[in-house]
Amino acid sequence: MRSFYYQSVDGRLFNAYFKPVGAYSGGEGNFWITETYKYFPIIEEEKYYEHAILWDFRDSEFDGQAVNQEEIVKAYVRDEILEKEK
């Protein structure tokens, strides 16, 4: 497992995790986002999980262009968590 990207989005704290898999049938890997609470940061609550994501969070570029993985994680948080909570 590769833990990465601690992100603050709209005053809330999120951690994103990516675990690559060896077979293409599983996409590039497993991806999930947890939320930590400001006053008790030891506890994480899973907010989003995708078993076979087609994006590789280990890569620093795509199609010859630099990729900002932090912005991609923030977009996932906004689209998959914050928008669905409204």
Give the confidence band of 2 by pLDDT, cuts at 50, 70, 90: low
Residue among 36, 35, 38, 68 at smallest CA distance from 49 = 35
Tell me which residue has tokens 């994006």.
55
Mean pLDDT value across residues 48-77: 89
Q: Which helix (H) or strand (E) holds 15?
A: strand 12-20
Q: What is the pTM of this model?
A: 0.84
Q: Where are the domains of the chain?
A: 3-81
Report which DSSP code applies to 79.
Answer: I
Rounded Cα–Cα distance for residues 49 and 57 (Å) = 14
> Higher-confidence residue: 4 or 46?
46
> Above 80 in pLDDT, residue 22?
no
Rounded Cα–Cα distance for residues 14 and 73 (Å) = 9
Mean pLDDT value across residues 49-56: 88
